[in-house]
A and B are shown apart, each in its own frame.
Chain A
Amino acid sequence: MTNATVNRKVCLLGDFAVGKTSMVRRFIYERFDDKYLSTIGVKVSRKTIVVSHQTQLINLSLILWDLAGSEEFDQLRSSYLRGASGAVLVCDLTRPETLPNLSTYLNDLRRVSPSAQVILAANKADLAAEQRLTSAEIEAYAVDHKVPFHLTSAKTGEGVENIFRQLGQLILIRQ
């Protein structure tokens, strides 16, 4: 029996250089590129995962919109968020300011796509020695904003697959 195929738009949001593009590359190509590729505003990629939903398997095609985190694209961001079913908020464990800054992105998303499902990725977990954000701080933020969170590392791949799978499940459940 052929699985039903569903396409959903997912945006990656977060400050400049928190690791959004690297997470996408890790998720899609299963590799990590140390050389950071600065995005030009948005880059669209696709990854299809199979998830179970209501006793059936579904081919969930995630159309990943990797949005630039720099301020010059602030005005454009709202347009890019339209029609999103989900979003991954990405912060950098080595840069504490990237966590509260996520509220701006989250507010933009809620305004444009109120029903979008959100998940928080605290990235660069591999840089243990340089971490300046504690798990408690991240958990507190996640509870405040009612979003699940994961510690991830685009470099090692830790938690990356899980975060997209969980987001996919949330999208299908709450659609």
Chain B
Amino acid sequence: MPVEAQSPASRAAAGDPQEIHPDSSLEQIRQILLRDQEARIGGLESDVQRLDHQIRDESSLIKMIAPVLGDAIRLKIKEARDEMIEALYPIIGQVVRRAVTEAVSDLARSLDAQAKRAFDFRLAWWRLRARFGGASAAQIRLRELLPFKVSDAILIHRDSGLLLSHLAGEASVTADSDLFGGMLTAIRDFSQDTLGGDGQDELGEITYGDRRILIETGRSVYLAVIVSGTPPPQYRDGMRECLIDVENAHADAIDNHPGDESAFSDAQGQLQPLLVSAEPKKMSKSQKSFLAAGVGAVIIFVAGCILLTSWLYRASHPVQPPPAAIVQPSTTSTLAPTALLTFTPTAEPLPTETPAPTATLLPSATPTTSRAPFIGVILGNVWMRTGPSAEAARSEVVLTQGERVELLAVYGDWLRVKQISSEQVFAEGWIPARWFGAAEDFPALLITLTASP
């Protein structure tokens, strides 16, 4: 049977004076002297245990640090500003970059809207609608210029993809929001892993035809809003504010019970502004009636104005009966080809009874239609003459080089022309054909066999 060893202290405690170890008295002295220190060490051990527990328990640690965290950051910024900027740049830089990008997009949208409405007569209509619609004219304009509709607002847990809340609009497109949340999260993860690079970027939008999924990501959840059309400026800001509100209100549930629907039953109310802000107020029945009456009055007024204007115009411009084509046989001996400018259907040449028979092929008649004049340019300074001959008298009019004239008749190598450049004098006369320049051949109708002085 094995013998158990006894310690000197136990033997001393048993009252065996023969077995008292020589060091026992020293031990007793040590105990007496170090009693206070041992008690203090015991206290320190319990403190260490408590601190260890606090450090390991995340929620306790947060509670312990939170009160002084703000002060610590402020002090650090004060003492080492550059160091803090460098440390925070990856986060702040990202936020600033996104904010600037959105601001530029908003500006572009505003400019587009402004450009569109600058010359738009619908402005008055928008103002009228705004007056009775309960929205501002700017909202109505924006609504008209940038058609925009929200069909769904969905709150999704960032890591698991579990649906937290779903607010469906009138034209909801998500048949199963649970699956939507899961697949969208998978797509987000896929995008981040494939394109994310340093992991700082987030998928912000998915476009499919006219529909878009706008995504705003928070600390633990993200918000997906399905829209059609162009979102108005600041809509993203609204999404972000909504997301922050939801995260603050449901912080505990998001971290600990993300799949419990009851924990997010009131989140729909927080999402509501995202739907409401996209749709202007509807008019009441009386407002619609009043608006219809106003529009009717405007239409009647405009129609009256048109009728009155029409009547006044007709009163001041009596309608002339169309001139009848009168065929008058020429009884004069004139040689002037007066009928050359007419296009009136004419009968065959009529013989005249005059002693000096004219060879005109066309009887003079009242012109009923006009044709485009044949215009040419004078190629040098040349005298106008009274007849188609160098022997004919000069008409005291000199056509200058470059002057534009209208061709009236062609007789051999001579042309009868009329000034058109002069503002007051419209002299007519004959010039040699070589001084006349034109882009086309002379019209056959202007060629005459006779010449009138």
Contact = CB atoms under 8 A, between A and B. Distances in A.
Interface of A: 4-9, 41-46, 61, 63, 65, 75-76, 79-80, 82-85
Interface string B402-431: 000000000000000000000000000000
Contact of B261 (A5, A41, A42, A83): A5
B155 interface: no
A44 B179 contact: yes
A125 B159 CA distance: 34
A44 B193 contact: no
A44 B183 contact: yes
Nearest to A79: B189
Given A42-B186, A63-B181, 12 more contacts: A5-B262, A6-B260, A9-B182, A41-B186, A41-B190, A42-B190, A44-B161, A44-B183, A63-B160, A83-B158, A85-B160, A85-B259
A123 to B, nearest CB: 23
A82 B260 CA distance: 17
22 contacts: A5-B261, A6-B261, A7-B162, A7-B163, A43-B183, A44-B161, A44-B182, A45-B179, A46-B178, A63-B181, A65-B161, A75-B193, A79-B189, A79-B190, A79-B192, A79-B193, A82-B159, A82-B189, A83-B157, A83-B159, A83-B258, A84-B160
B259 A6 contact: yes
A80 B189 contact: yes
Contacts of A4: 260-262
Given A44-B179, A44-B186, A63-B182, A82 B160 contact: yes
Please indicate which of the listed interface residues A6, A7, A79, A80 has the most CB atoms of chain B within 10 Å of its own CB. A7
A5 B260 CA distance: 6
A9 B193 CA distance: 20
Nearest to B184: A44
Interface residues of B, number: 23
B178 A61 contact: yes
A40 B192 CA distance: 17
Give the 7 A-B CB pairs with smallest separation, nearest first. Answer: A83-B160, A44-B182, A83-B159, A79-B189, A7-B259, A82-B159, A9-B160
B193 A65 contact: no
A65 B186 contact: yes
B176 interface: yes
Interface in B277-324: none
B162 A83 contact: yes
A61 B177 CA distance: 12
A83 B182 CA distance: 11
A140 to B, nearest CB: 32
Nearest to A175: B257
Contacts of B260: 4-7
B159 A7 contact: no
Contact of B176 (A5, A7, A46): A46
A63 B178 CA distance: 7
Interface in B223-264: 258-262
Nearest to A44: B182
A9 B179 CA distance: 11
A83 B220 CA distance: 11
B155 to A, nearest CB: 13
Interface in B340-385: none
Interface in B159-179: 159-163, 176, 178-179
A76 B186 CA distance: 9
Given A79-B192, A79-B193, A65 B159 contact: no
B179 A76 contact: no
A170 to B, nearest CB: 15
A111 to B, nearest CB: 14
A82 B161 CA distance: 9
A161 to B, nearest CB: 20
B158 to A, nearest CB: 8
Contacts of A6: 259-261
Contacts of A61: 178, 259
A164 B150 CA distance: 37
B179 A80 contact: no
Contact of B179 (A5, A46, A83, A85): A46
B122 to A, nearest CB: 46
A44 B184 CA distance: 10
A63 B161 contact: yes
A65 to B, nearest CB: 7
Contacts of A44: 161, 179, 182-183, 186
A7 B193 contact: no
Contacts of B158: 83
Contacts of B181: 63
Contacts of A79: 189-190, 192-193
B259 A8 contact: yes
Nearest to A59: B261
Please indicate which of the listed interface residues A44, A45, A46, A82 has the most CB atoms of chain B within 10 Å of its own CB. A44
A80 B186 contact: yes
A76 B189 contact: yes
A87 to B, nearest CB: 12
A46 B177 CA distance: 10
